[in-house]
Amino acid sequence: MLKVIDQIEGIDIVGLLKKSEAMMEGHFKLSSGFHSKYYLQCAKLLQYPHLTDQIVKAGLKKLDANGISSVDTIISPAMGGILFGYMIAYHLKKRMIFTERKNEKMELRRGFKIQKGENVLIAEDVITTGGSVKEVIDICLENKANIKGIVSLVDRSEDVVFDYPYIFMIKFEIEKYDPKDCPLCKEGISIDYMGSKKIFK
């Protein structure tokens, strides 16, 4: 089951996800270790700037309405959030930087710096557990930045809570299965693992 819980108005995000083949159906192993019939590979949407642009333009209205569009810098975790964050920064005419994982730890590299008191917006493509975003939050706090909010293209989390305003473009409820009771496994459907993170067993 894949159900749309909420989304920004004025644009058919599901249609764009399907058009770009970012909404995939099959048998997938998630980074959490659970199995699912659906997988969202947002990179397949983000490879098309003109499609991403439509979503960002609509989303900026929601950011503005929630008072978090007035920022100095957009920061995203590599890799997924970079393209989404860059498009937001382009429209806001602001700086965009990203964090990278080195030896399992997220950090600022490439000479990127965050100034004390700098107003930042954290942008991610898909939020599931919120782990990468929380690592970016820690980096921002270590540098004494002022976190204005968090924005994601897709929210597929269940109970993630941030201490800052959180805006998403679309929220999905996607059914997942314990590998021991996965009906897709029982049907003998071959499984794919699309993620880049370590799978937790």
Secondary structure (DSSP) of 71-118: -SEEEEETTTHHHHHHHHHHHHT-EEEEEEEETTEEEE-TT----TT-
Residue 174 β-bridge partners: 2
Mean of pLDDT values over 87-94: 96
What is the per-residue pLDDT across 152-192, written as a single tens digit (0 to 9) for each?
999 988 878 999 999 999 999 988 899 999 999 999 999 99
Whether 78 has a pLDDT exceeding 80, the answer reads yes
Q: What is the pLDDT of residue 195?
A: 64
- In the chain, where the domains are located: 2-186
Q: Which fold has domain 2-186?
A: Rossmann fold (3.40.50)
The token pair at 54 is: 């439509």
